[in-house]
Structure 1
Amino acid sequence: MMASRRPMFTASWAQTFTYLLGVCPFSIAFLVFINSSISFVVTDLIGLHDGEGDAVGTLGFADELLALAACPLWGVLSDRIGVRQVCTAGYTIIALALVLFVQAKNIYPQLLLGRLLFSLGGAAVSTMVTAVLPVVTANRASPPLESEYVPPRADAPSSRLAGYVGMCAGCGALLSLSILLPLPAHFQQLGFSPAEAIQYSYYTAAVVALLVSVSCFVGLRNLPGEDGKEWASLWRTSRPEALTESQKLSIPAFIKTRMPYLHQFGSAIALGFHNRDIFIGYLGGFVARASSVGISLFIPLFVNSYYLKSGLCDGQPSEEANPGDIKRSCPKAYVLAAILTGVSQLIALLAAPAFGYWSEMSRQYHLPLLVACVAGVVGYLILSILPSPEFHGERGNPGIFVVMALVGISQIGAIVCSLSVLSNGILGLTSPAGEDPEPDSEHASDTLRESDEQQPLLATSAGRNQQQTTNLKGSIAGVYSFFGGAGILLLTKLGGLLFDVLSSSAPFYIMAGFNGVLVIVGVVTGLVISMRS
């Protein structure tokens, strides 16, 4: 019998648009907003003018440290309560944090607690960007016909959708820069004081976050495979043997098995050692998040350092300016850094859909991801040895724009392709040597076993493994975000240390190394697969 034509997305258009236009862009928008405006909160609202840089850096480090632990927790919870509930809770927490943030009267503990609360909500929504992707693109669970076996990855457009996810996330950053960040200036024009302008800007952002939360609650209802996932699942204790036959058929397998939380997290990590797609997805997430820091933090610092050492600021730096604040210490360097990072992000935004479609056409060897990493190796190495970051003048070279393009391609390629590879790994995982990827699967109901025995062997094995892996999608997304947070912390601390004691180019050598390791892993695992086939 011919296989029936399946839809591109198993989620409805309303659910898909809620994901692309709500979850994805605003997961970045609020983070960009708070990172870019926190210095004004510290100076204009709290009144701290001595040690501003240290306070902002400590708050950012605490944010990332909490996110490192919170992302896996939210991922595991989403396997129990559903991605819709986590998205709704995450944006609600962000709205509350934005309101409380501007009520602080001191840095410690009030502003720190506000930043940690924001980190908790931000970790939820950033993790769900990854977790919702396989839900939107997965095949609806339906028993295959006896003569029909459809591979689980055959019609999953997660790679193409991942390209739009990267583009929408980039648009979220632009949304923040063009609408949210100018709010304090607009409120001051209306006659408010600088402190009041900051407060009302945060209140406005909080209202937006609350609206996004409501849209997630409404727009992500009845997602495929999310039946039965609710808050009550956190304390549900029923075991399969205590359920009636009708209950066994109506309650999803993940509720029947009641996999312990730590077991879920451990299983998600273990899958990375057994499945090439998931392993490369994790490494790609590490490189992708580190690339974001490399562009947004170290390129401006590199430009600023060059201008200060070369005496090109023309006496512009203010004596009271913090050397780490490029906008005040050397405005000319700030303009150049903005141009270079802007070119990089523009190229990334334009290339995102292309990487999505290319990933769909090259799944086995992950060629797009490897090309992006090679671009990163070349771009960062050239950037580290350039005599000047300028594009005009005696020491300038317009080729710097080509280098920025390579860096932008590396960043968006790592983001889009790692999401695509990870999602395809979730949808298409089959256990090695016929073993079950989840040790608790022996508790599955007899009803499901009897149904499986009536199906062809290949269809039964693939369908069961796909269902079990999809039930761990949140945990896998949490581990992916964990690796990304680790990349940020490692590059921030190690790169910052070597920037001060060794060379301003040191962070770029580190980024070239990260990309190079991913290229080696991708090539080696690809060769292993070729030899086996």
Structure 2
Amino acid sequence: MTTPPLAAVAPIPFLGMKLNEGVVRGHMLTFYLACYATIMLATFVPATQPFLLDQVLGMERSRQGVASGNLNFWGEIVIIVTVGLWGGLSDRFGRRAVTSMGFALIAAGALLYGLARDIGGLYLARGVYAAGIAAVSTMLITLMADYVSNNSRGKATGLLGVMNGLGAMTAALFLLRLPAIFQGRGFSAEQSAIATYGLMAAITALIALAMYFGLRRGQAHSSDERAPILRQLREGIAEARRPLIALAYASSFVARGNLAVVGTFFTLWASVYGTQELGMSAAEAVSKGGAVVAISYAASLISAPVFGIMTDRLNRTTALAVTLAIGAVGYGSTYFVDDPFSLGTIACLILIGMAEVGCIITSGVLIAEQAPDRLRGSIVGLFTLSGAIGILIASVVGGYLFDHWLKTGPFVFFGAISALVCVWAIAVRMRHA
């Protein structure tokens, strides 16, 4: 009897997904831990900024919208400068090394946040944190494409959305309460900041170690298959001439911009409204705002599997258009509300939560499907770069609209952007039907 070759052995399944060769369940568990931790940290840091600006730095509330936008702006400049580098380095040195380094940088940035006592200190902290977010965000979609076969990526990205929802809810329901908890135990505002961010830095450092020991070892390609980094980046930019790649880049602009709008401006809105209208402290208002925005993240959590299944069963451009339409309605409807704690706002946040996770899933699957293996790291890096530009635009324009027009101005603005990209997706779908 002839023994079948090793290549004929069926790959190990994971929750109904077909994994690529060499990927085991431990790699997938570590990958989904990264998904959970990334969104938890991406939610926590911007959402706690109003507490720092108000009670630690003592900044006037009329300046906090622009200040928050500027912090995001310079953070995204760091992402724009580094994101292509991370993608290229991951193709050369492996996904594990870049992912571990990313979480280590986030831990350092969180510690610097707790120590900052002026706006310059916050800029430094935001820059270090942003470099880490750039590395980790680039790796998530890259790892998903490396680990899961194409016909299971909708389901895999749906579970990614579930972990994102759990991470965001952890931040909103528990982590945003930390400053108020420490203050309730007699800590000063400065001491609460050190305790809050120091604790998060320690947790993030442990996650960095988990990435190093839990992700698959080795490089994605052998050295004779790799082009130089600058050439890969040029080729990745050239891929934008393909309509579906260009659409995927635009959808990343919306998906990441969505996260910036909610993560930065909702808790700032809650902080301003709570302190001015309800007589709360900034820490209490941020905590209450976190409880409200958790409803949005719960909607993300519940709807993520639906979007994952939809992405596998429908044309992926069609699925993307659906999520963009939901976002346009959810964000645009905030024009009609002025109380961040009202039922009308909660209804908008439910739609926004669905749109956020839906756009992340559909755009991620689309780029993973369209990116050639040899250029995958670099193309996903540029995909993340487009998202960074989305956050940059959301931060600058949103901050100005928050201070000079409506507190919901950043949301309304991104509703209009979502509508425009939705029309683009429909046009591409009709042309390439």
Q: C-alpha offsets along residues 327-354 of structure 1, whole Å, 9 cap, x if unaligned?
A: 3122389699667644333222210111
The yes-or-no answer on 1:279 pairing with 2:246 is: yes
Q: Does the CA contact (< 8 Å) of 1:351 and 1:409 recur in 2?
A: yes
Larger Rg: 1
Aligned ranges for residues 320-335 of structure 1 at < 5 Å?
A: 325-331=272-278
Match for 2:235 among 233, 256, 267? 267
- C-alpha separation between the residues in 1 aligned to 2:290 and 2:143? 33
- Deviation (angstroms), 1:5: 5.5
TM-aligned CA distance change 1:81 to 1:331, over 3 Å? farther
Q: C-alpha offsets along residues 481-523 of structure 1, whole Å, 9 cap, x if unaligned?
A: 1111111221332344355556666545532332223222222
Aligned ranges for residues 40-59 of structure 1 at < 5 Å?
A: 40-41=51-52, 48-49=58-59, 53=64, 55-59=67-71
Match for 2:87 among 75, 92, 108? 75
TM-aligned CA distance change 1:414 to 1:48, over 3 Å? same
- C-alpha separation between the residues in 1 aligned to 2:430 and 2:80? 33
Aligned length: 412
The yes-or-no answer on 1:293 pairing with 2:260 is: yes
Could you state the TM-score of these two structures normalised by the residue count of structure 2? 0.83
The yes-or-no answer on 1:361 pairing with 2:351 is: no
- C-alpha separation between the residues in 2 aligned to 1:404 and 1:101? 28
Q: Does the CA contact (< 8 Å) of 1:352 and 1:413 recur in 2?
A: yes
TM-aligned CA distance change 1:203 to 1:337, over 3 Å? closer
- C-alpha separation between the residues in 1 aligned to 2:390 and 2:234? 20
- C-alpha separation between the residues in 2 aligned to 1:40 and 1:416? 31
Corresponding letter in the other structure for 2:142? A
- C-alpha separation between the residues in 2 aligned to 1:488 and 1:13? 34
- C-alpha separation between the residues in 1 aligned to 2:339 and 2:249? 35
- Deviation (angstroms), 1:25: 1.5
TM-aligned CA distance change 1:372 to 1:97, over 3 Å? closer
Structure 2: stretches of 5+ with no match in the other structure? 1-7
- Deviation (angstroms), 1:15: 0.6
Match for 1:171 among 166, 170, 177? 166
Q: Does the CA contact (< 8 Å) of 1:89 and 1:213 recur in 2?
A: yes
Number of the residue aligned with 1:13: 25
Aligned ranges for residues 176-325 of structure 1 at < 5 Å?
A: 176-188=171-183, 192-222=187-217, 227-228=218-219, 252-253=221-222, 255-274=223-242, 276=244, 278-297=245-264, 325=272
Q: Does the CA contact (< 8 Å) of 2:36 and 2:164 recur in 1?
A: yes
- Deviation (angstroms), 1:294: 3.8
The yes-or-no answer on 1:483 pairing with 2:386 is: yes
- Deviation (angstroms), 1:17: 0.7
- C-alpha separation between the residues in 2 aligned to 1:376 and 1:70? 29
Match for 2:296 among 326, 344, 349? 344
- Deviation (angstroms), 1:375: 1.9
Q: C-alpha offsets along residues 215-264 of structure 1, whole Å, 9 cap, x if unaligned?
A: 10011033xxxx446xxxxxxxxxxxxxxxxxxxxxx44x2154222221
Q: Does the CA contact (< 8 Å) of 1:376 and 1:515 recur in 2?
A: yes
Q: C-alpha offsets along residues 281-303 of structure 1, whole Å, 9 cap, x if unaligned?
A: 212111112222344455677x7
Corresponding letter in the other structure for 1:9? L
Corresponding letter in the other structure for 1:290? G
Q: Secondary structure at the residue paired with 1:14? A: helix
- C-alpha separation between the residues in 2 aligned to 1:103 and 1:299? 24
Number of the residue aligned with 1:410: 355
- C-alpha separation between the residues in 2 aligned to 1:206 and 1:169? 19
Corresponding letter in the other structure for 2:240? G
What RMSD, in angstroms, separates the aligned Cα atoms of the two structures? 3.3
Corresponding letter in the other structure for 1:329? Q
Q: C-alpha offsets along residues 59-82 of structure 1, whole Å, 9 cap, x if unaligned?
A: 333212212222222112111111
Q: Greater helix percent: which structure?
A: 2
Corresponding letter in the other structure for 1:114? A
